[in-house]
Amino acid sequence: MPPLWAVVTVTSLVFLRTFSITQDQALEEAWRGWKGVHAKEYLEEEEAFRRAVWEKNMQKIKIHNLEASLGKHSYQLAMNHLGDLTDEEFNQLLNGFHPDPVKRRGGNLAFFQKSASLKTPKEVDWRKKGYVTPVKNQGHCGACWAFSATGALEGLLVNKTGKLVSLSEQNLIDCSGKLGNHGCHGGYIRRAFEYVRDNGGINSEGAYPYLEKEGFSCHYNPQDRAANCTSVVAVQRGSEEDLEQAVATIGPVSVAVDAHNFPFHFYKSGVFSTIFCSDSVNHAMLAVGYGTSPEDGKQYWILKNSWSEKWGEQGYMRLVKGADNHCGVASQASYPTM
Ligand SMILES: *[C@@H]1O[C@H](CO)[C@@H](O)[C@H](O)[C@H]1NC(C)=O
Ligand SMILES: *[C@@H]1O[C@H](CO)[C@@H](O)[C@H](O)[C@H]1NC(C)=O
C-alpha cells in the first residue's frame, strides 16, 4: 500500500497550503500535543494537509459534543489517533468487510435456530466471563474481518477448553486468500471460519504474530494449532431477536456494521446511533453482549472493535439495540462451532 500522503493529490496540497495560512493559531499547541501523544511524523509537504484535516475533524467533534450537551445525541465523540484521516481514507483503510452471498458453493452454512420458549437474560457481557481477549489494533490494514473472526473463535475456544488464547489474524490474512479474502484489502468473516474449518486449525497470535501487512506466504504450522472449528452458523439476516439469543446462548458473535460515517470514526462514549447509518454493512466487529443504559434506558449491543483501546469505550462501542437493525448490526452475524 502506498504511504498515506501519496493519496493526496497535488492540487489539494496546493490548495491546502494556501488554506494553511488561515489555520487557527490557538490550535497550534493542541496539534503539537496530539502529534506527540500519537507519535505522528509527517513530511514537510504533507504536514499542512494533515493539520487541516485534523482541524476539520476537531471542529466537527466539537459541534457534535455541543449538540450532545443539549440532548441531541446520546453519545460523545473525541479526537483520537485516527484524526488525521479524511473520511475517504478512513473508509478505504478501516472498512474491509465484504458481505457474503447467502448461497455459495462450499460454504455449507448452517442457520441459527431460535427457540420460541427461551427467555434471554436482560444483560449479557462475555468479557466478565473471561471469553474476550484484550482489544487489538488492526492499524493501517483493512483486515477487520480477520479480527472479528478471531474474536468469535477465541470465545468458542474458551467454551471448549476453558482457556483464553489470542488467535492469529495474520494466519487468516496470509492463508485464506484462495477462499476469496483479500488480506488488508478486505474479506469475509465466514470465509475466515471456513478456512479454519477446512484447514483443521488456526495458530495463536504468539506463534503467528500480526504484521499489519499482506503479501506474505502462508506459514501455518499444524504443530502449533491453537483452535479449531467444524462448522459455520449464520444468524437470520436482519433479526436482532435471533442475534440476541445467539449472543446470550453461544458466546461472542461476529457481526458487521455500516461504519462509513463521521460519528462512528470518532465515537468516544454513550449509546451510539446516527442518521448517517444505513444497513449496508462494511466493517466487521464482535458482539460480546448487550444491556440497557442506566442513564437513559436505551438498549444497546456491546461491540468489540479492532482500532485499539484509544477508540470508543476502551476499544468498545455501545450501539443502540432494538432500533430496526441500526447500522445493519444483525445483517451479517455468524459464529463458528466445534
Ligand atoms: C459452552 O456453550 C454451550 C452452549 O453452546 C453451553 O451449554 C456450555 O455450558 C458452555 N460451556 C462452558 C464451559 O461455558
Ligand atoms: C482440532 O481437531 C483435531 C481433529 O481434526 C483434533 O485432533 C485436535 O485436538 C483439535 N485441536 C484443538 C485445539 O481443539
* CB of 228 closer than 6 angstroms to any ligand 1 atom: no
Measured over the CA atoms of residue 148, residue 151, residue 157 and residue 159, the dihedral's sign is negative
- What pLDDT, on the 0 to 100 scale, is given for residue 23? 58
* CB of 287 closer than 6 angstroms to any ligand 1 atom: no
Distance 113 CA to ligand 1 centre (A): 16
- What pLDDT, on the 0 to 100 scale, is given for residue 26? 77
Supply φ then ψ for residue 262, to 5 degrees: -60, -50
Q: What does the DSSP 8-state code read for residue 141?
A: S
Residue to mutate (ligand 2; options 158, 225, 230, 338; most atoms within 8 A of CB) = 225
Residue recorded with cell 473508509:
91
* 144 is known as an active-site residue: yes
| Separation of alpha carbons 212 and 141, rounded Å | 6
HEC readout, the chain: CCCHHHHCCHHHHHHHHHHHCCCCHHHHHHHHHHHHHCCCCCCHHHHHHHHHHHHHHHHHHHHHHHHHHCCCCCEEECCCCCCCCCHHHHHHHHCCECCCCCCCCCCCEEECCCCCCCCCCCCEECCCCCCCCCCCECCCCECHHHHHHHHHHHHHHHHHHCCCCCECHHHHHHHCHHHCCCCCECECHHHHHHHHHHHCCEEECCCCCCCCCCCCCCCCCHHHEEECCCEEEECCCCCHHHHHHHHHHCCCEEEEECCCCHHHHCEEEEEECCCCCCCCCCEEEEEEEEEECCCCCCEEEEEECCECCCCCECCEEEEECCCCCHHHCCCCCEEEEC
- What pLDDT, on the 0 to 100 scale, is given for residue 107? 67
Closest protein CA for atom 1 of ligand 1:
159
| Separation of alpha carbons 134 and 290, rounded Å | 18
- What pLDDT, on the 0 to 100 scale, is given for residue 25? 74
Is residue 266 within 8 Å of residue 169, measured between CB atoms?
no
> Given the DSSP bridges, would you call strands 267-272 and 253-257 parallel, antiparallel or unpaired?
unpaired
Distance 252 CA to ligand 2 centre (A): 21
Segment-wise mean pLDDT, segments of 10 residues, the chain, 338 residues? 42 46 74 94 93 95 97 96 90 79 72 93 98 96 96 98 98 96 94 96 98 95 96 95 98 96 96 95 97 93 97 98 97 96
- What pLDDT, on the 0 to 100 scale, is given for residue 241? 97
Active-site option among 80, 95, 171, 305: 305
Active-site option among 73, 98, 283, 326: 283
Closest protein CA for atom 3 of ligand 2:
200
* 182 is known as an active-site residue: no
- What pLDDT, on the 0 to 100 scale, is given for residue 3? 45
Q: What is the pLDDT of residues 151-195, one digit of tens each?
A: 999 999 999 999 999 999 999 999 999 999 999 999 999 999 999
Distance 159 CA to ligand 1 centre (A): 6
- What pLDDT, on the 0 to 100 scale, is given for residue 109? 83
- What pLDDT, on the 0 to 100 scale, is given for residue 102? 63
Q: What is the pTM of this model?
A: 0.90
- What pLDDT, on the 0 to 100 scale, is given for residue 195? 97
* CB of 159 closer than 6 angstroms to any ligand 1 atom: yes
- What pLDDT, on the 0 to 100 scale, is given for residue 332? 95
Q: Which ligand is nearest to the CA of 252?
A: 1
Residue to mutate (ligand 2; options 223, 228, 231; most atoms within 8 A of CB) = 228
Please report, to the nearest 10 degrees, the dihedral formed by the alpha carbons of residues 239, 244, 246, 252 taken in order: 120
Q: Which ligand is nearest to the CA of 126?
A: 1
* 305 is known as an active-site residue: yes
> Given the DSSP bridges, would you call strands 109-111 and 283-292 parallel, antiparallel or unpaired?
unpaired
